[in-house]
């Protein structure tokens, strides 16, 4: 890894600012002063220090966000604010990406990381990772809907979904439910309810596999995963 990229990623400034540190002889590699920003180093095997303090190398970041509505699940967009825009520059330096997508108006749990292997494992259809959602529904949700979802429903484009587990919290003209699905088709929860003649008016993701939303996080807030949370994901 290039020395300037390492130091920028670890929060020592932009690459331009890192070059200033190098000119000031503030950076050493295995005890030797280094001025070449393009020098390749192995931070796991070499001692890279800034002003005498060893640089603690972090390869991957794992961030849980309570995604707010109106923000899109993407790394960049010309028109809308993205979930990456909400992150501190320290995290942005790792060039992370959201694991899966939540619709623009959907809230709740979103995992953001730069670990491609973990992302693949969580999103692969073969892994059958359960995702729980809370939703408000315009219409009376019934036992017949529970049975229909348990068999999978046919969407407007002819696709038949995998079985989902539907729990009715309240049933009336405005119903409240929780739903578990193991897929992530475009607008899937909304389209599943449309298939049974109802409309989703509010949607929030509660969990993804063993990872549950930290309800103390306000909309737009985020934190790094705990060691226990990360271990539960990596064990899958």
CB neighbours of residue 158 within 10 Å: 6
**Can you tell me the distance from the alpha carbon of 138 to that of 132, in angstroms, rounded to the nearest whole number?**
19
**Can you tell me the distance from the alpha carbon of 136 to that of 175, in angstroms, rounded to the nearest whole number?**
6
What lies within 8 Å, CB to CB, of 229 at 6+ separation is 62, 64, 210, 211
Q: Look at residues 156, 153, 193, 151 and name the one whose alpha carbon lies nearest to residue 176.
A: 193
- Active-site pick, 30, 36, 103, 157: 103
Determine contact, residues 63/113, Cβ cutoff 8 Å: yes
Angle between helices 227-234 and 116-123 (to 10 degrees): 60
What lies within 8 Å, CB to CB, of 12 at 6+ separation is 18, 21, 50, 55
Query: Does the annotation count 36 as an active-site position?
Result: no
The pairing of beta strand 97-98 with beta strand 107-113: antiparallel
User: 19: buried, middle or exposed (CB in 10 Å: 19+, 13-18, 0-12)?
Assistant: middle
Which residues are identified as catalytic?
103
């Amino acid at each position: 890894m290039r020395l300037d990229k390492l130091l920028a990623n670890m929060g020592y400034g932009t690459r331009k600012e890192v070059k200033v540190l190098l000119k000031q002889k503030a950076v050493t590699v295995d005890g030797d002063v280094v001025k070449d920003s393009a020098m390749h180093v192995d931070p796991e095997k070499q001692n890279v220090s800034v002003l005498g303090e060893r640089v603690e190398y972090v390869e991957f970041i794992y961030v849980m966000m309570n995604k707010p509505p109106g923000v899109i699940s993407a790394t960049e967009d010309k028109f809308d604010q993205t979930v990456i825009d909400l992150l501190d520059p320290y995290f942005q330096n790792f060039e992370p990406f959201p694991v899966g997508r939540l619709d623009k108006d959907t809230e709740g749990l979103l995992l953001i990381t730069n670990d491609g292997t973990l992302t693949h494992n969580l999103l692969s259809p073969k892994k059958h990772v359960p995702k729980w959602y809370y939703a408000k529904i315009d219409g009376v949700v019934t036992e017949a809907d529970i049975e229909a979802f348990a068999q999978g429903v046919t969407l407007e484009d002819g696709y038949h979904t995998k079985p989902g587990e539907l729990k009715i919290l309240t049933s009336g003209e405005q119903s409240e439910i929780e739903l578990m699905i193991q897929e992530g088709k475009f607008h899937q929860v909304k389209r599943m309810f449309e298939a049974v003649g109802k409309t989703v008016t509010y949607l929030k993701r509660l969990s993804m596999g063993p990872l549950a939303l930290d309800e103390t996080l306000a909309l737009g807030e985020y934190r790094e995963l705990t060691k226990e949370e990360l271990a539960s994901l990596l064990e899958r």
